[in-house]
Amino acid sequence: MPAAPAVLVLLGPTATGKTAVAVELALRLDGEVISADSRAFFAGLDIVTDKPSMAERRGVPHHLIDCVPIDGEVDAMTFRADVERLVPEIVGRGRVPIVAGGGTLYLAAVTRGIFEGPGKSDTFRRSLDGAESEDLHRRLGLVDPAAAAAIHPRDRLRIVRALEVEAESGRTITDWKSEAQPLPFQFHTFGLLRGREDHRAAVEVRARSMIERGLVEEVARLRASGLTTDCQAYRSVGVPEAWAYLDGAISREELLERIVRATWALVRRQASWFRAQSGVSWIRVTGRTAADVAAEIVAAWQSGRGVS
């Protein structure tokens, strides 16, 4: 039986420098990058997602960027199927597949597996519209304590999905997940970590840069071309905040404050999820260049370390 394809996974919270490190890795390993950024899929959502420009990609092929219209949807099952298709194609070209990003649900679908539970029920979701997220979380705790313990009380999207699965199938999402299987690849997983104060500073720099580069103008263009508050892309950090600014509900100073706060909350959720993952080789990046970090990862990759 042929050996399972080897895949390098680069994960970590927002603002840890994954994009630049992934490019360096691809240049050193003759690789191709598969984006696992849960919002880079959307065409036009460029500044919001800090999507790498063509110059920043430095000739490295990037996959699953700009592949979904701004009013479209993408889910973890679709991402898993795309990765399952792309990895053999990349390996077949004699290159290294590098899955890079911070989309926890999408990474889990690939490295841990995803269940094929019931589909989306608009009727059930509408029945929850008037309920507060914390109340729904308490309700989830009654039917699926394990899921409730793993989901933040304000993570409405995941709470609703867990309740939906139980209501539509009669089985908890925890039960469904126990049957999930990872893709049949050999994963070498590396995670990037920044010191807390350095990370907070990077988040603020990122937020300021987004605004200076035209975040508000980007959201205004997308709003004019089909983005609505019901779209999946709207739930990207930076979009609701810019939307409120465009509506005159907040000042420019509040815009920055809200983006920094929302980004840091995202970082904390991601970090919590990543800490619970086994088989991750963690690399501290504070004060280091992308090239230096990539060199350490390449050495570990070539020695066979970081296998999960």
Evaluate whether residue 151 is within a structural domain. yes
Helix (H), strand (E) at residue 283: strand 281-284
Between CA 195 and CA 189 the distance in angstroms is 20
Contacts of residue 30, defined as CB under 8 A and 6 or more positions apart, other chains included, come to 94, 95, 96
Are residues 10 and 107 part of one domain?
Answer: yes
CA dihedral 251, 253, 259, 264 (to 10 degrees): -140
Are residues 54 and 10 part of one domain?
Answer: yes
Strand ranges in 153-205 using DSSP code E only, listed in sequence order: 186-193
* HSE, side-chain direction, 13 A CA sphere, residue 276: 11
pLDDT single digits (tens) 193-209: 999 999 999 999 999 99
Evaluate whether residue 1 is within a structural domain. no
Evaluate whether residue 308 is within a structural domain. no
**Residue 2 pLDDT:** 66
Task: State pTM to two decimals.
Answer: 0.83
Are residues 237 and 161 part of one domain?
Answer: no
Give the residue among 308, 304, 305 at the shortest CA–CA distance from 277.
Answer: 308
Are residues 250 and 132 part of one domain?
Answer: no
- Domain count of the fold of the chain: 2
Q: Contact 97/189 with Cβ under 8 angstroms?
A: no
Between CA 70 and CA 65 the distance in angstroms is 12
Are residues 232 and 137 part of one domain?
Answer: no
Between CA 113 and CA 126 the distance in angstroms is 28
Are residues 170 and 35 part of one domain?
Answer: no
**Residue 308 pLDDT:** 52
**Residue 38 pLDDT:** 86
Are residues 256 and 173 part of one domain?
Answer: no
Assign residue 268 the CATH number of its domain: 3.40.50.300
62-63/31-35 β-pairing: parallel
Between CA 158 and CA 147 the distance in angstroms is 9
Q: Contact 208/17 with Cβ under 8 angstroms?
A: no
Evaluate whether residue 100 is within a structural domain. yes
3-class DSSP state of 213: coil
> Measured in Å, how far apart are the chain's first and last C-alpha atoms?
20
DSSP state of 2: P
Between CA 94 and CA 246 the distance in angstroms is 48
Per-position pLDDT tens, the chain of length 308: 567 999 999 999 999 999 999 999 999 999 999 999 989 999 999 999 999 999 999 999 999 999 999 999 988 889 999 999 999 999 999 999 999 999 998 999 999 887 767 888 889 999 999 899 999 999 999 999 999 998 888 889 889 999 999 999 999 988 887 777 889 999 999 999 999 999 999 999 999 999 999 999 999 999 999 999 999 999 999 999 999 999 999 999 999 999 999 999 999 999 988 988 889 999 999 999 999 999 999 999 988 765 55
| Containing structural domain, residue 137 | 122-177
Query: Distances from the Cα of 196 to the Cαs of 43, 258, 284, in angstroms?
Result: 32, 19, 11
Are residues 130 and 38 part of one domain?
Answer: no
Assign residue 134 the CATH number of its domain: 1.10.20.140
Q: Contact 185/211 with Cβ under 8 angstroms?
A: no
